[in-house]
Structure formats: structure tokens, C-alpha cells
């Protein structure tokens, strides 16, 4: 009996230790952004923004608030960091001046916004917002990084447009259109509702759109090559 009780006690202790180890909280690490000089990575964890040396090391808290911060993106000169925050209600755009530690609010909307990217010259922030369309469909805008009035870039009615990527020369914007992949990019498997098209939209008012890829796959996050001669994008057209 004594041996059985001892064994039962050991088994219970081992089970408790296994459960405790399994239940131990692990931080989420998401939305990484590499600084222009390649030395630092900004990322999101616990609704705050952190930085860590790209070569590895100890992470430091950069932006914290009771609200949720997300999508940190370094400016092309590395002096500022744009991000989204819902500290004043809906997720809007903010910019942190890294040297001074000052945060300024750039957009003021009751609709949630998604930060897409900086223009190469650092003058503009491109973002997606559903403020002016129906059924939470996205439109693409840009706003001066220093603050000002947002300008519509692509706002076709009844059409979801998202994930804008300005070209290196600042003359054209690549964007995704149709589907709902931007709101459920995390979902496994293929669904027709997630299929999107890749388009080019010149900033010149009279210039026509140009479709590069039709439907046939979930497509997300277009990215320009440094020379502006090609585009990269995520897609499940080949499977996963």
C-alpha cells in the first residue's frame, strides 16, 4: 500500500508538472518590420510594439498603451515608425518620432483603418479604410505623414480594395481588389470569397487601371522589388 501511494503521488506530481508546463503562457510575436539599415526589427506582442536587434538580443518595449497597437512600419529614413492604434476608438494611424519619443495622430476616422505602407520618399502613408464604402468594403487612401487630409487613391463603389503598395518612383500603386482575404488572411484552406485580383493604379487622375492577375487564388500583400521592375505577392494559387 505504501509503495502504491508513493507511486500514485509521483504520478500526480508528474501530471501536474506536465499540465503546468503545457499551460505556461507564451508570448505572441507578430507583424515584424525591418528597419531600413537592417539592424533592428519592430514587432507586436501583447498589443504593444517592441524592438529587437536583427542579429538577436533582448527585446525592448517601444510603444505601449492600454489600447491595441499594431502594424509597425519604419519610415524609409528610419527616423519614424508608423503604426495603428485604437487608443481613441477605431484603429487609426499614428507616427512615432524615434529620436524624440513623440507620438502624433495622423488620421481621425470612426472606421477602422489598416496601414499599408510608406511612400519611398517618406511623404505619404498609404492605408485601407471602409469609411466611404458600403458593407465594410475597403478603399485605398493616402495621407501626408506629417498630418493632413486623406486623399482617395482607389475608391471603386461596391468593390473591396486593399493592401496598397506604392511603387518606388511614386507614380503607381499596386493593390488587391475583390474578395475578403484582407479580413481573413489567417484562414486555412481555399475559398472562393477569398480570391483577389492584383491591379496597378497610376496616381495620375486620367490614367486607367491595369489588371496584372485575375481571380484564381487568395492574394495578399503586394511588394515591389527595389528597382520597381517586378512585384512579389502572397498567394495560395499553387496550393497552400
pLDDT in tens, 44-99: 999 999 999 999 999 999 999 999 999 999 999 999 999 999 999 999 999 999 99
- pLDDT at residue 11, rounded to an integer: 46
* CA pair distance 173, 233, nearest whole angstrom: 14
Cα angle: 81, vertex 27, 111; to 5 degrees: 50
Element (H, E) at 231: strand 231-235
User: Are 121 and 139 spatial neighbours (Cβ–Cβ below 8 Å)?
Assistant: no
User: Are 138 and 161 spatial neighbours (Cβ–Cβ below 8 Å)?
Assistant: yes
The per-residue pLDDT for range 154-212, each reduced to its tens digit, is 988 889 999 999 999 999 999 999 988 888 888 888 888 999 999 999 999 888 999 99
Please, which residues have CB within 8 angstroms of residue 23's CB and are 6 or more apart in sequence? none
Pull the grid cell for residue 50.
Answer: 517592441
The per-residue pLDDT for range 4-34, each reduced to its tens digit, is 554 445 445 555 555 455 677 888 899 999 9
Identify which has the larger pLDDT, 135 or 215.
Answer: 215
* CA pair distance 18, 24, nearest whole angstrom: 10
- pLDDT at residue 24, rounded to an integer: 76
- pLDDT at residue 10, rounded to an integer: 43
DSSP 195: B
- pLDDT at residue 3, rounded to an integer: 45
* CA pair distance 141, 113, nearest whole angstrom: 10
Give the N- to C-terminal CA distance of the chain in Å, as an integer. Answer: 56
Mean of pLDDT values over 102-126: 96
CA 156 to chain centre: 22
Pull the grid cell for residue 104.
Answer: 502624433
Block residue for cell numbers 487630409: 149
* CA pair distance 8, 86, nearest whole angstrom: 51
Amino acid at each position: 500500500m505504501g509503495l502504491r501511494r508513493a507511486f500514485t503521488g509521483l504520478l500526480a506530481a508528474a501530471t501536474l508538472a506536465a499540465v503546468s508546463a503545457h499551460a505556461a503562457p507564451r508570448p505572441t510575436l507578430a507583424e515584424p518590420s525591418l528597419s531600413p539599415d537592417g539592424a533592428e526589427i519592430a514587432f507586436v506582442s501583447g498589443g504593444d510594439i517592441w524592438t529587437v536587434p536583427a542579429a538577436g538580443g533582448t527585446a525592448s518595449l517601444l510603444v505601449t498603451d492600454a489600447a491595441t497597437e499594431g502594424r509597425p512600419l519604419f519610415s524609409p529614413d528610419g527616423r519614424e515608425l508608423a503604426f495603428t492604434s485604437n487608443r481613441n476608438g477605431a484603429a487609426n494611424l499614428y507616427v512615432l518620432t524615434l529620436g524624440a519619443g513623440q507620438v502624433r495622430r495622423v488620421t481621425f476616422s470612426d472606421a477602422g483603418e489598416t496601414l499599408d505602407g510608406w511612400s519611398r520618399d517618406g511623404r505619404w502613408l498609404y492605408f485601407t479604410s471602409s469609411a466611404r464604402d458600403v458593407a465594410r468594403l475597403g478603399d485605398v487612401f493616402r495621407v501626408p505623414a506629417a498630418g493632413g487630409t486623406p486623399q482617395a487613391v482607389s475608391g471603386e463603389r461596391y468593390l473591396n480594395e486593399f493592401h496598397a503598395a506604392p511603387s518606388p518612383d511614386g507614380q503607381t500603386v499596386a493593390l488587391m481588389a475583390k474578395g475578403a482575404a484582407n479580413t481573413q488572411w489567417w484562414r486555412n484552406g481555399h475559398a472562393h470569397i477569398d480570391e483577389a485580383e492584383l491591379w496597378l493604379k497610376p496616381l495620375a487622375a486620367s490614367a486607367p487601371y491595369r489588371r496584372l492577375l485575375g481571380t484564381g487564388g487568395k492574394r495578399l500583400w503586394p511588394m515591389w522589388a527595389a528597382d520597381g521592375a517586378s512585384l512579389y505577392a502572397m498567394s495560395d494559387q499553387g496550393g497552400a
